[in-house]
Amino acid sequence: MRILLVEDDPMIGESVRKGLRQDGFVVDWVEDGEAAELALASHEYDLMVLDQGLPRKGGLEVLKSLRQKGSMLPVLIATARDEVPARVKGLDAGADDYLVKPFDLDELAARIRAILRRRAGRAEPLLRHRGVVFNPATREVTLGGIAVALTARELALLQAFMDRPGAVLSKAQLEEKLYGWGGEVESNTVEVYIHALRKKLGTDFIQNVRGVGYLSPRTV
């Protein structure tokens, strides 16, 4: 899961980035509203954590123009202003949730998981697919009830397949999931990690769709 963090306070930005990374998120951090719009235009994110008070372009403006463009990107606003009007404005401008600073990092991660769950149309916190159970809160994976150890990159790919079971994911989409986990994403990187996942979860878990990408079929 790739998150765009928009925060101009260096201390808060650094601690949020670190905290979310520990929770298994890939985080791109920018420090003003214009940089946020540039990042949004050039990458595919799963969610944005948006500070309201930002230089160059305010958080509310960024949010409004995002929604005007028809973007469904989940947005959680962080506000220093513990006032009802600021939060109401943010929610009415299209935010999915808000947190008042200073906030707890565990609460932020839990709220992000809740938003992503709702967006995927799920109420159940655990992801289940083809005998594999993934717990986004603990990052634990089991296959037929037995724990499976996966690397951060393998987990990032697995989550992409489990979020959209039966959907065909292009190589480019999967490459996006691998950024931020260290090392170069080279032309055969996706294949390497698909191979590793098949070895751990079964050859049939991921199928190749020639010329299009990969999918994890719904039926076993």
Could you list the residues that contact Ca ion (CB under 5 A)? 8, 51, 53
Give the shortest CB-90-to-Ca ion separation in angstroms: 13
CB atoms within 10 A of CB 22: 11
CA distances from 77 to 28, 47, 74, 125 (A): 16, 11, 10, 22
In this structure, the strands spanning 75-79 and 97-100 are: parallel
Q: Looking at beta carbons only, is 101 or 164 nearer to Ca ion?
A: 101
Q: Looking at beta carbons only, is 8 or 175 nearer to Ca ion?
A: 8
Nearest residue to 82 (alpha-carbon basis) of 110, 103, 56, 61 = 103
Give the shortest CB-45-to-Ca ion separation in angstroms: 20
Residue count of the chain: 220
**Using the 8-state DSSP alphabet, how is residue 97 labeled?**
E
Is the CB of residue 67 less than 8 Å from the CB of residue 94?
A: yes
Q: Looking at beta carbons only, is 29 or 214 nearer to Ca ion?
A: 29
Residue showing the smallest CB distance to Ca ion in the complex: 53
Q: Looking at beta carbons only, is 76 or 116 nearer to Ca ion?
A: 76
Cα–Cα dist 218/204, whole Å: 11
Q: Looking at beta carbons only, is 53 or 213 nearer to Ca ion?
A: 53
Q: Which residues pair with 62 in a beta bridge?
A: none
Give the shortest CB-53-to-Ca ion separation in angstroms: 4
Give the shortest CB-116-to-Ca ion separation in angstroms: 24
What are the structure tokens assigned to 17, written together? Answer: 């980035």
How many CA atoms does the CB half-sphere of 9 hold within 13 Å? 13
Give the shortest CB-77-to-Ca ion separation in angstroms: 11
Q: From start to end of the chain, where are the E strands? A: 2-6, 26-30, 47-51, 75-79, 97-100, 127-129, 132-135, 140-143, 146-148, 207-209, 213-215
Q: Which residues pair with 77 in a beta bridge?
A: 50, 98
Q: Looking at beta carbons only, is 81 or 198 nearer to Ca ion?
A: 81
Give the shortest CB-51-to-Ca ion separation in angstroms: 4
